[in-house]
Chains A and B, each alone.
Chain A
Amino acid sequence: MGVIGQIGQWFDQRLQLAAPIRDAAEHPVPRNTASWFYVFGSAALTVFLLQLVTGILLALIYVPSASEAWSSLQALNHDVTLGWFIRAMHGWGSNFMVAIVLIHMVQVFLFGAYKFPRELTWIVGVFLLLMTLGMAFSGQVLRFDQDAYWGLGIGASIASRVPIAGPIIVKLMLGGPIIAGATLSRFFALHVFVIPGMLIGFVCLHLLMVLKLGINEWPMPGRLVKRATYENEYHQLTRKDGAPFVPYAVWKDLFFAAFILLAVAACALYFGPFGPTGRPDPTIIQTAPKPDYFFLWLYGLLSYLPPSMETPALLIGPVVVIAFLVLLPFLSGEGEKSWRRRPIAVLTVLLIAIILGTLTHLAGYTPWSPHMNAWSGDPVPDKFLHGSTALQRQGALVFQGKQCRNCHSIGESGGQRGPALDSVAVRLTQDQLIRQVIQGGGNMPAYGKNLSPAETTALVAFLETLHPAGQTPARDAALGEAQEKSASAQ
């Protein structure tokens, strides 16, 4: 026996770990689980380990103090050798981790792996998802910039809506009455000690259960799960058609893990680190805060919910979703596993993916937000002013000066909060235009107090010219043509 072998034996005589590790590595798995669909769990673990390593590296430089965090991030980006790369790896690693955990969850759901006897593995997995999202949010706070500051404000505003306990929760969350030093410190403790500690514990539990209960076999349509017989069937399957996990199935996990690490590094190298954006100085108000990618859907949802539904949806929604996820294995713990025979499961996943995808896409360009600089930055295109009268041109000036452009686009530039006005004269008569401008309505503020009668007349004269060539503007059918002419002449 060589020297290395002898050293190994010396350690194993004391540790006694070689045998259980070999047993775990070589435990038989059903042959058809050596599939590229089964690599996402180990990929999530790989990215988590990457986050641990890069996180510790960042902590060597980062200062968790509201007065210095931002400068220490700047130092990481610009002064410390390769600090930007480690920041970029950690930031992209976070995005990859959320994405892979979600994909893993969808795969497990569609393959029926949450059914008997793996209910608890699924429930622990639900908590792992919540912790991953908690890490993503608290990590965004540690990147202590304007987005982090106002993002905390959004969090506090949501928390304060809890009946009775709201103000207490806000103070507990912020560590005081305002977003300040104590806020960053407690999010640092959460992000670096509390949540990672729990994550490590829950990951171990999750893995232990995968080892003890065996990996979910490839679901066959028509092979139903029954509590009484499943475990027996599974053991027969692994005995008859099993192969040792190492090396039969593990090579795909290894390849995919390395590929994911490469992908994270490539993104980090190509796109660089996230922010920090502006200094977290609340007196700088020229900012449009936005959450990180995986919370954009929520940002979008919050602008589309009707005001009366918002508080109930914010407070009850998450409870319902989490309760449903936790209860899922008890609601359908037996029966069909294959997604080919579970159309509702497939449609549910598709529906959720489409909703989240659409909201994320919309939050990318926020059509609900006024364009704060459109009134001074986007002039009325020439073609709308050709051959117009002095009054109509005066109206175009009012249109710009009163910031109508911030919410209404014309010639495809300007805000999208309100409808585009390129052909508004076809939709509204002169009287309706005046009423809409002065009284507002349908989500438009009333401008009655901010426009003089002369300004209103000019503005409406301009708006009446906004119709496609060859299409006549809307007119009040109740008025005779002659009457209308005399009315508009006045």
Chain B
Amino acid sequence: MADQNTLSRRGLFMKMGILFNGLVATALAVPIVGFLLSSITRGRANAYLSWVPLGPIKDFPEGETRLATFTNPYVTPTDGKTVDTACWVRRVEGEQFQVFAINCAHLGCPVRWFPQSGLFMCPCHGGAYYRDGSRASGPPERGLFEYPYKVQDGMVTIQAGELPTPGSLTASLFGNKPPCGARNELVSIESKLSACSKTNALLRKTKTWA
């Protein structure tokens, strides 16, 4: 028997065994955690948030709000219909548009447009918005989320790719109280980079995750 202060041969081997297992576990944890966090770190920043066409400009009469659908730019083989997304396109005049996310700014339910009363209404908790997307009544704290848009070769295109939620990048760009810049000015996320320091910081954060 070894006395209390000395380490026996077996005891040393056991400690080395534990240490060895600890090292292997740490090494294995790197790919495991990397895999688990891949939905955050996935290097597909270019696909996620890119320009997608909604349709030719003539499909959207001036002064009206129409439903448009687009396929999310980021698709995997098992997505099925879930990548098809709807949005409300309001053509203010000429090439001036507002493209609203279908998701209510409260909790994301699909809002419906009522042209007669000029309101968007949400079926879940009764949120309502005016035709320009600003909050009219109900539980939402802000106006509808808006996608950045541009008109290119006669096609209306928007920058989309993520589920618009109160904390998302899409939500921070536009809406009832734009964080910076005028709402109707033609903007993209890149051009916002120089114009707005708050969004800039947010974008930089997203880029480091991407």
Q: Which residues of A contact B (CB under 8 A)?
A: 65-68, 149-150, 153-154, 156-162, 166-168, 170-172, 174-185, 279-283, 285-289, 299, 302-303, 305, 307-308, 310-311, 368-370, 372, 375, 401-404, 406-407, 417, 440, 443-447, 449-450
Which of A170, A280, A445 is the one whose CB lies under 8 Å from B137?
A445
User: Cα distance A166–B171 when bound, in Å?
Assistant: 12
Q: Report how far A368 CA is from B37 CA in the complex, Å.
A: 39
B161 interfacial by beta-carbon distance below 8 Å: yes
Per the 8 Å Cβ criterion, residues 35-94 of B in contact with A are 37, 39-40, 42, 48-49, 67, 69, 72, 74-86
Assuming the contacts A67-B81, A181-B79, asked whether A170 and B161 have C-beta atoms less than 8 A apart, the reply is: no
Name the A residues within 8 Å of B112 (CB-CB).
285-286, 372
Structural contact, A177 and B162, CB atoms closer than 8 A: yes
Does chain A have a CB within 8 A of B117?
yes
Smallest beta-carbon distance B65→chain A, Å: 13
Q: Specify which of B48, B49, B83 lies most central, judged by the most chain A CB atoms within 10 Å of its CB.
A: B83
A311, chain B: closest CB distance, angstroms:
8
**In the docked arrangement, what's the CA distance between A450 and B136, Å?**
13
Q: For the complex, is B173 an interface residue (Cβ under 8 Å from A)? A: no
Say which residue of A166, A369, A446 sits within 8 Å of B124 (CB atoms).
A369
Q: Given A161-B166, A168-B40, A177-B161: A150 and B109 within 8 A (CB)? A: yes
Other A-B pairs, 18, CB within 8 Å; known A157-B103, A167-B168, A445-B128: A65-B78, A66-B78, A67-B79, A153-B109, A174-B39, A176-B74, A177-B49, A178-B85, A285-B67, A288-B123, A370-B121, A403-B119, A404-B117, A406-B121, A417-B126, A445-B119, A445-B130, A445-B137
Name the CB-closest residue of A to B88. A285
Stretch from B11-19, B138-146, B151-159, B176-184 contacting the other chain: B138-146
Task: Give the residues in chain B near A449, CB-CB below 8 Å.
Answer: 118, 130-131
With an 8 A cutoff between CB atoms, is B209 at the interface? yes
Asked whether B163 lies within 8 Å of A154 as measured between CB atoms, the reply is no
- Interface: B204 (CB within 8 A): no
Within the complex, the shortest CB–CB distance from B208 to chain A, in Å, comes to 11
Interface magnitude class on chain B: 35 or more
- Which 10 A/B pairs are nearest by Cβ-Cβ distance? A67-B80, A160-B167, A166-B167, A181-B78, A445-B136, A153-B108, A160-B165, A303-B125, A177-B162, A288-B123
Cα–Cα, bound, A220→B61 (Å):
77
Q: A176-B39, A178-B74 are in contact. Are A281 and B165 (CB under 8 A)?
A: no
**B141 lies within 8 A of A170 (CB):** no
Q: How far is the CB of A376 from chain B (nearest CB, A)?
A: 10
Min Cβ gap B91→A in Å is 17
- Interface flag for B193 (CB, 8 Å): no
- Check: B23 CB closer than 8 A to any chain A CB: no
**Are A182 and B141 touching (Cβ within 8 A)?**
no
Name 6 interchain pairs, CB-CB below 8 A, sorted by A.
Answer: A160-B167, A172-B39, A172-B40, A181-B80, A283-B85, A286-B112
- A169 to chain B minimum Cβ distance, whole angstroms, is 9
Q: Which residue of B lies closest to A64 (CB)?
A: B78
Q: Are A178 and B139 in contact (CB under 8 A)?
A: no
Q: What are the residues of chain A within 8 A of B32 when measuring CB–CB?
A: none
Min CB–CB distance A51 → chain B (angstroms): 26
Residues of B within 8 A of A417 (CB): 126
Task: Kindly identify, within residues 191 to 208 of chain B, every residue whose CB is under 8 Å from any CB belonging to chain A.
Answer: 206
Residue of B49, B124, B130 with highest tally of chain A CB at under 10 A: B124
- A319 CA to B104 CA, complexed, in Å: 26
Tell me, yes or no, whether B150 is within 8 Å of chain A by CB. Answer: no
Contact check: which of B86, B106, B116, B140 meets A402 at CB < 8 Å? Answer: B116
How many angstroms between the C-alpha atoms of A368 and B107 in the bound complex? 15
CB neighbours of B141 from chain A (8 A):
307-308, 310-311
Contact for A171 among B40, B76, B77, CB less than 8 A:
B40
* Minimum Cβ distance to chain B for residue A174 (Å): 7
Q: B169 interface residue, CB < 8 Å from A? A: yes
Given contacts A289-B109, A401-B116, contact A153 B163 (CB under 8 A): yes
**A402: which B residues are within 8 A, CB to CB?**
116-117
- A308–B106 CA distance with the chains assembled, in angstroms: 12
Indicate if the CB atoms of B39 and A66 lie closer than 8 Å.
no
With CB as the reference atom, state the residue of chain B lying closest to A416.
Answer: B126
Q: Indicate whether B114 reaches chain A with its CB closer than 8 angstroms.
A: yes
Interchain nearest-CB distance for A59 vs B (Å): 17
Option from B84, B114, B168 in Cβ contact (under 8 Å) with A403: B114
* Chain A residues closer than 8 Å to B37, beta-carbon distance: 172
- B139 partner, pick from A303, A407, A447, beta carbons under 8 A: A303
Residues of A within 8 A of B39 (CB): 171-172, 174-176, 182
Please report the C-alpha to C-alpha distance between residue A286 and residue B114 in the assembled complex, in whole angstroms: 13
Asked if B126 and A185 sit within 8 Å, CB to CB, the answer is: no
Q: Does B102 contact A (CB under 8 A)?
A: yes
Query: Once the chains bind, are A170 and B82 in contact (CB under 8 Å)?
Result: no
- CB of B79 within 8 A of CB of A180, answer yes
A156, A159, A368: residue with the most chain B Cβ atoms closer than 10 Å: A156
* B78 near A67: Cβ-Cβ < 8 Å: yes
Q: Which residues of B contact A177 (CB under 8 A)?
A: 48-49, 74, 161-163
Task: Give the complex CA separation of A180 and B167 in angstroms.
Answer: 19
B82 CB contact (under 8 Å) in A280, A370, A440: A280
CB neighbours of A450 from chain B (8 A): 116-119
Q: Bound complex: CA of A372 vs CA of B77, how far in Å?
A: 36
Kindly report which residue of chain A lies nearest to residue B105, judged by CB atoms: A157
